[in-house]
Amino acid sequence: MIDDVNVPDPLSPDPLVPEDNNGEPTPPVPGSKTPPELLLKSLQEEREENTRLKEELELLKGSPASPDIFSEEGKILQKQIQESNEQISKLTQENARKDLFIAHPILKEKNEEFEKFLADPENKGMPLRTAAKAFLVENGLLDPVRLGLEKPTGGPRTPPSTGMTNEEIKTLRETNFKKYQDMLEKGLIKV
C-alpha cells in the first residue's frame, strides 16, 4: 500500500520551480508558491490601502494648509503666490479678450450681448475664441458668404484670339501657296 501515497522523489526537480535550457532551476515567480486564497486576501488589502491613500491625498490637496505644515513666513508666501496666480489669470483673460476685439471689432460694439452669450450655461467651458466665432456665426456678423464664382483678377478682358494672324497668313500665302490653298479649302483660314 505504499504505492498509493504520493511521495515526491528527492532527486526529481521541484515541479513549481521551472528549469531553463541548461537544467538549472530558475528563481520562482513572485506569488507562485503562495496559496490562491492568500493572494486574493493580499490583493484586497493592497486595494484598500490604495483607496485610503488616494482619499488622504485628495483631502490634503483640497484643504487649505494646516497651521502645522507651514510657518508664518510660509503662510505669507503662500498667500502672495495665490494672489500672483490670480493676477496672472486675470491678465491672461484680458489679453485674450483684447486679441479677440482686435480680430473681430464688431465684438467690441456687441460686448453686452457677447457677455450674455458667454454666461449662458450651454456655452460655459467653451474656449473664448470658439465662443466668439460661435457668437458671430449665430448673429450673422461674420464676413458675408460669397455666392457664385469669384470675379477674375488681372489679365486681359478679352480672351486671346486663336489661329493664325494676318501676317502669318500673308507669309504662308507668299512662301507656300499650296498649303495655303489646302487650309482655305478645309476652312482653317478665314479671309
Coil, strand, or helix at residue 35? coil
- Cross-strand partners of 19: 25
Q: Of 49-53, 87-91, 115-119, 146-150, where does mean pLDDT reach its minimum? A: 146-150
Buried b (16+ CB within 10 A) or exposed e, 129-144: eebbbebbeeeeeeee
Total number of domains constituting the chain = 1
Note whether residue 87 is domain-resident: yes
- Report the C-alpha gap between 18 and 120 in whole angstroms: 66
- Tell me what pLDDT residue 30 has: 65
Which cell numbers hold the place of 33?
508558491
pTM of the predicted structure, to 2 decimals: 0.38
Residue 118 lies in a domain: yes
Evaluate whether residue 91 is within a structural domain. Answer: yes
- Per residue in 44-94, pLDDT (tens digit) is 888 899 999 988 888 877 665 555 567 888 889 989 999 999 999 999 989
56 domain residue, yes or no: no
18: pLDDT strictly greater than 60? no
Contact 75, 65 (CB under 8 A): yes
Where is pLDDT greater, at 1 or 117? 117
Query: Alpha helices of 2-127 — where are they, by DSSP H?
Result: 36-62, 72-103, 106-109, 111-119
Q: What is the pLDDT of residues 169-191, one digit of tens each?
A: 899 989 999 999 998 898 888 76
Pairwise CA distance, residues 152 & 148, whole Å: 12
Could you tell me the residue range of the domain that residue 98 belongs to?
Answer: 73-143
